[in-house]
Amino acid sequence: MGKAYNVMAATCPSRTVLHRIGARWTVFIVNALDNRPMRFTELKAHIRGITPKALTETLRAMEYDGLISRTEIPANPPHVEYALTDLGRSLLAPLRAIREWAESHVPDIERARAQADAQR
């Protein structure tokens, strides 16, 4: 049985999936929810620099795709908790790898950029 989906095909549905998980803030949210559920404000503080609009939109999209769950907790005071679903947790390994690559290759990239700048 061959591959069912191929991102290289222009109209393959995997394109939209890839687009979503590659979106600007998805990798941050998945990594942030690694250990435990978090509230909106907690996420905003944790992912420094994200605007509430970007956070809202990314969370909504991820919820729509079944990657996270949004739970209103009617405690006192009431609040909202975002958590990874099983599907979202399956993204954890690949996206953690991306994050780690970025964090560990900063010097390589900076060296390459400096060298490229110097050559002009």
Partner DNA sequence: GATACCGGTATAGAATCTATACCGTCCCGG
Partner DNA sequence: CCGGGACGGTATAGATTCTATACCGGTATC
Give the one entry of its own copies, DNA, none that residue 80 binds, where binding means its C-beta sits below a cut-off of 5 to 8 angstroms depending on kind: DNA
Give every CB contact of residue 63 below 8 A, 6+ residues apart in sequence.
69, 70
- Cite the beta strand spans of 1-120 per DSSP E: 68-73, 79-84
Q: Where are the beta strands (DSSP E) in 42-84?
A: 68-73, 79-84
Q: How far, in Å, are 20, 67, 77, 83 from residue 13 at the CA level?
A: 11, 17, 42, 25
Conformational region of residue 66, where left means phi above 0, alpha means psi within -120 to 50, and beta covers everything else: left
The residues that touch its own copies, with contacts defined as CB under 8 A, are 3-11, 13-15, 17-22, 24, 27-28, 31-32, 46-49, 63-67, 87, 90-91, 93-95, 97-99, 101-106, 108-113, 115-116
90 binds, among DNA, its own copies, none (CB under 5 to 8 A by kind): its own copies
Q: Which of 8, 49, 107, 118 binds DNA (CB under 7 A)?
A: 49
Per-residue binder mask for DNA (CB under 7 A), 53-92, x = binder: xx-xx------------x-----xxxxx------------
Enumerate binding residues for DNA (CB under 7 A): 23-25, 39-42, 49-54, 56-57, 70, 76-80
